[in-house]
Structure 1
Amino acid sequence: MTNLTGWSVETLHDGFAQAHRMDRVLYDSKTEHQRIIVFESAQFGRVMTLDGVVQVTERDNFIYHEMLTHVPLFAHGAAKRVLVIGGGDGGMAREALRHPVEQVTMVEIDAGVVEFCKEYLPSISNGAFDDPRLDLQIADGADFMRETDGGYDVIIVDSTDPVGPGEVLFTDHFYGHAKRALTPGGILVTQNGVPFMQGSELTGTLRAFGSLFRDAHAYLAPVPTYQGGFMAFGWGTDSAARDVDVATLADRVNATGQSFDYYTPEIHKAAFALPGYVKRLLP
């Protein structure tokens, strides 16, 4: 058995752990909200953990960030104002700003996360914090959502797991405030963990979505860092945006002049095809 001294061991799921060898620790500090560690890994490049749970890595973050932004934004097709709850590493803002949007508002509870990500994980934000279209708000996401005047075409909830500061972002009240903050035809998407390991998380979100939206569903992507199979994302809208066809999606992608490392129109459509064990988690 490997000696785990010098390894970051994550025990998020009961009876299961994953470990990353910390080849070099670059940052280790406890803020008012959580303990943040950044280290270098042979397999994943620079890795950030919050309270021992991996949040983002240099090598595979593109899958998570592309799927949580481009699926709703290309499905909508005309989004001008985007709200990101969480996302202190800047990756979600990075991808959203690749679209011809007027403004991306990013609400992060911990200013320390933003500042150290700028210094230790700059490739993840890739200049997003310097884009004049980014409106960075250091605030509690639940408070912001309750108090905002709204007017957002797409809302992306890039939360941690439903423990600690992130727990309130998985409540019916929070989702209700998010629905109110959407424009007509707007889309709400959420991070819902790995359903093979934490199925109740997806079930709870979609139960709330079912009472709020005409179209409540989920879509999937395989993110190597998040062990246990596919990662799930919640989807809620009153529009028919989920039905947009591949040809229309391709036209929208081509209009941006962008190419992506994971997202394609075909992947977009296929992501909504759910295996049986995930379908059974839907209320």
Structure 2
Amino acid sequence: MTKLMMETLYPEYAQALSIDELLYDSETDHQRLKVFQNNRFGRVLTLDDVVQTTEGDNFIYHEMLTHVPILAHGAAKRVLIIGGGDGGMAREVLRHASVDHVTMVEIDAGVVEFSKTYLPMLSQGAFDDPRLNLVIADGADFMKTPDGTFDVIIVDSTDPIGPGEVLFTDTFYGHAKNALTPGGILVTQNGVPFVQGDELTNTLRAFKALFDDWGCYLATVPTYAGGPMAFGWATDGEARNVDLATLEDRFAAAGIAPDYYTPEVHKAAFALPGYVKKLLP
């Protein structure tokens, strides 16, 4: 009989994934880390039986948190990633030849080494790109005194529980604003609004106080269960209003071939259903 991994994120609602082959299982004083093979989603990484990423659908999450701000900006040279130890976010940012420098701040060096061993298909060699500067440090501490300023800042955090909690504070967002170049863009992971509405509301309340243009956009990632996922958006520039023709030109010039992102999806992602609009402060 096939074993099932029952996700424990919500007390009243759960998804289950079959463990077709268990590849790694280690329990520490703080968390239980598993990697297993699922015949639909490929390799699956979980922390305390909560899905973090999968080989099969990670491209949606990573593409939408990178290509939307980079192509909306149009001239991003320096990008900062907070988190992203599996290397998937760096992989997508580095597809843009126009990006000169990427700083990636990961709190746990072990996550990077673990991902290189068990999830190499996520990074696809990104850690070897000379444009990547990997910094092992607390992202909140780094943001207080960053190494220069950035055109795009991507916060690839876990949910606001435990070590990831400080990445959802007003203070952190204020420091992030100070680290942006004029017209720079901050994007964040903000959970599934249908079941994690407070997470989105709290982030956007801070964005509203700090930035001229703030809001969120959506994408559906199958293993982030409960509906479409929200990504926070904040800038003092006009990048959200870039027209479709300009996006298409930038996309063609970038020469990338994503599996989810298109300029049309980019524009449509900012169209919010009513229940999400009600979560905006």
SS in 1 for 2:52: strand
2:235 counterpart residue number: 237
Q: Does 1:62 align with 2:59?
A: yes
Q: 1:50: Cα distance to partner? A: 1.6
Per-residue deviation, 1:164? 1.1
Q: Deviations over 1:191-236 (max 9, x none)?
A: 0000000100000000000011000110000000111111000000
Aligned length: 280
Question: Could you tell me which amino acid in structure 2 is paired with residue 249 of structure 1?
Answer: L
Amino acid at match of 1:264: T
Corresponding residue number in structure 1 for 2:271? 273
Taking only aligned residues, the RMSD between alpha carbons, in angstroms, comes to 1.3
Quote the offset at 1:80 in angstroms: 0.6
Equivalence for 2:117: 119
Structure 1 counterpart of 2:235, which letter? T
1:24 has 2:50 as partner? no
Structure 1 residue 260: Cα displacement: 1.1
Deviation at residue 30 of structure 1 after TM alignment: 4.1
1:221 aligns with 2:244: no
SS of 1:207's equivalent in the other structure is helix
Aligned to 1:264: 262
Matches within 5 A, 1:122-137: 122-137=120-135
Matched AA of 1:169: L
The yes-or-no answer on 1:35 pairing with 2:52 is: no
Residue 249 in structure 1 maps to residue 247 in structure 2? yes
TM-score computed with the length of structure 1 as normaliser: 0.96
**Alpha-carbon distance in structure 2 between the residues aligned to 1:272 and 1:46:** 30
Alpha-carbon distance, 1:42 to partner: 1.4
Report what 1:82 is aligned to: 79
The aligned amino acid for 2:236 is D
Percent identity of the aligned residues?
A: 74
The answer to whether the Cα contact below 8 Å between 1:142 and 1:169 also exists between their aligned partners in 2 is: yes
Residue type at the aligned position of 1:165? P
Query: Corresponding residue for 2:180?
Result: 182
Note the C-alpha offset of 1:32: 7.5
TM-score of the aligned structures, taking structure 2 as reference length: 0.97
* In 2, Cα distance between equivalents of 1:133 and 1:157: 19
Q: In 2 relative to 1, CA 30–130 (structure 1 residues): closer, same or farther, beyond 3 Å?
A: farther
- Counterparts of 1:31 and 1:72 in 2: how far apart (Å)? 37
Q: Which amino acid aligns with 1:64?
A: Y
Within the candidate set 90, 93, 98, 1:93 is matched to 90
| Unaligned ranges ≥5, structure 1 | none
Matched, 1:159 2:161: no
Shift of 1:29: 2.3
Contact kept in structure 2, 1:222 and 1:229, CA below 8 Å: yes
Q: Is the 8 A contact 1:12 1:53 kept in 2?
A: yes
